[in-house]
Amino acid sequence: MRLARLALLGVLFMGLAPTVMAEPDEAPRQEAESEIEKGPVISQFRENWILGELRNLRQDMMEYRNQMNLLVTDRELEVADKAMGYATNTVTYFFYLIAGAASILALVGWSTIRDLKDNVRVYAEKEMARLTSEYEARLADLERELRKKSLTIAENQEEIERTNEIHSLWLKATKEPSAQAKIELYDRILELRPDDPEALAWKADAALELGEQRWALSLCDRVLEVDEENSHALYQRACAWAGLGEIDNAFTDLEAAIQTSETLRRHARSEEMFRPLHELARFQELVGVTDDSGLAD
* Integer Cα distance of 221 and 215 in angstroms: 10
Average confidence (pLDDT) over 270-296: 73
The pLDDT of residue 119 is: 83
Condensed to tens digits (0 to 9), the pLDDT of residues 74-104 reads 888 888 778 787 778 887 876 677 777 667 6
Condensed to tens digits (0 to 9), the pLDDT of residues 97-135 reads 777 766 766 665 556 667 777 788 888 888 888 888 888
Domain covering 160-287 in this structure, CATH number: 1.25.40.10
Sort 57 into a burial class: Cβ within 10 Å, 0-12 / 13-18 / 19+: middle
Domain ranges, ordered by start, for the chain: 160-287
Condensed to tens digits (0 to 9), the pLDDT of residues 181-210 reads 888 888 888 888 887 888 888 888 888 888
Average confidence (pLDDT) over 36-57: 74
Q: Which residues contact 227 (CB under 8 A, 6 or more apart)?
A: 197, 233
**What is residue 294's three-state secondary structure?**
coil
Measure the N-to-C terminal CA separation of the chain; round to a whole number of Å: 172
If one counts every other C-beta atom within 10 angstroms of the C-beta of residue 72, the result is 10
